[in-house]
Structure formats: C-alpha cells, structure tokens
C-alpha cells in the first residue's frame, strides 16, 4: 500500500465508495410504476394484420431491385447502343455427304479407324477413303485426350 502511495499519491487519496446511488424512495412505488408501464406498452403494440405481406415483402423487394437494375443497365444499352447486344447466329452449311461422313467418323471404333488409316480403300469406297491431315487431327482431338496422345507417342 505504501508503494502505491509513493507511485500515485493523487489516486491513492480517492475514496473507495461507489459514486452511484439510488434516488430516495425509488423502490417504494416501483411495482405500481412498472405495472402502468407494462399496460401502456401492451396497448401500444398493434397486432400484426397480415402475415402474408410480411413474407412477401422481401421477395417483392428483390424483384423490384432486379427490375431497377434492368431499367438502369440493359434498357439504356439497348437504346443507345443497338448493335452491342445484337445476337449473331452462326449457321454452318453442311451437305448430306458431310453429315454421312461425320456420322461414320463418330461411330467408328479404334480398330476400324486404324484399319481405315492404314488401308483406306478397304473400309470405304475409293473416292471417300482419302483422309487428309486436318480430318485426322479433328478426329483425334475430339475422341482422344491429350494424355492418351502423349502416352502413346512416348511408347
């Protein structure tokens, strides 16, 4: 204690009493005041009218926010930059021969494909049997993974 007086003489002189006090006669009529407050609070809160509206409010707010974003972003872009949002449709013209060829290539198994590469006249007609490098690369890229190609070239 003496050490505390040497270090902080001003704080050691402060009395050790609680600075807060209850007002005089506070608890004498406390229960009566509490009852009147509870009655006033129970009458002040209106009962909920419609619970459906309370559940519907967040969904309506979300829909309104999406509509607002649409109106602020999409509509001005559509009005002021009409070509920006234009959808381009790419049409690939294929002939019946191409469709037959692609169907044949898709349904071929590995052994038949190997036989076709080594002896194209054996599997197909003479005019259809010629495979160029681009067709071979397309087939390999669509049916064989890069790992399989790498492992086959290493052996």
DSSP string, 44-86: HSPPPS-HHHHHHHHHHHHHHHHHHHIIIIIHHHHHH-TTTTP
- What tokens appear for 55 in the block? 């559940």
What is the per-residue pLDDT for 63?
94
**Residue 3 placed within a domain:** no
pLDDT < 50 regions, the chain = 123-127
Residue among 155, 109, 113 at smallest CA distance from 135: 113
Nearest CA to 3 out of 87, 11, 138 is that of: 11
Q: Which two tokens stand for residue 138?
A: 């397309």
**Domain shared by 79 and 102, yes or no:** no
Any domain includes 4: no
Identify the domain containing residue 81 by its residue range.
28-86
Dihedral of alpha carbons 148, 132, 103, 123, sign: negative
Please state, in angstroms and rounded to a whole number, the distance separating the CA atoms of residues 105 and 139.
7
- Asked, for residue 2, whether it belongs to a domain, the answer is no
* Final residue before a domain boundary, out of 37, 55, 86: 86
Q: What is residue 122's predicted lDDT score, i.e. its pLDDT?
A: 53
53 within a domain of the structure (yes/no): yes
User: Do 77 and 40 share a structural domain?
Assistant: yes
57-91 residue pLDDT tens: 999 999 999 999 988 888 788 787 777 666 555 55
pLDDT recorded at residue 126: 47
């Amino acid at each position: 204690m003496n050490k505390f007086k040497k270090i902080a003489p001003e704080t050691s002189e402060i009395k050790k009493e609680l600075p807060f006090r209850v007002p005089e006669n506070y608890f004498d009529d406390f229960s009566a005041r509490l009852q009147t407050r509870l009655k006033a609070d129970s009458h002040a809160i209106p009962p909920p009218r419609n619970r459906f509206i309370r559940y519907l409010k967040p969904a309506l707010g979300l829909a309104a926010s999406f509509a607002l974003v649409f109106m602020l972003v999409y509509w001005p872009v559509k009005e002021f930059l009409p070509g920006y949002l234009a959808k381009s449709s790419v049409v690939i013209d294929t002939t019946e021969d191409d469709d037959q060829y692609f169907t044949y290539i898709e349904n071929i198994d590995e052994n038949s494909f190997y036989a076709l590469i080594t002896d194209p006249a054996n599997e197909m007609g003479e005019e259809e049997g010629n495979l160029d490098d681009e067709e071979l690369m397309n087939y390999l890229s669509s049916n064989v993974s890069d790992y399989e190609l790498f492992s086959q070239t290493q052996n």
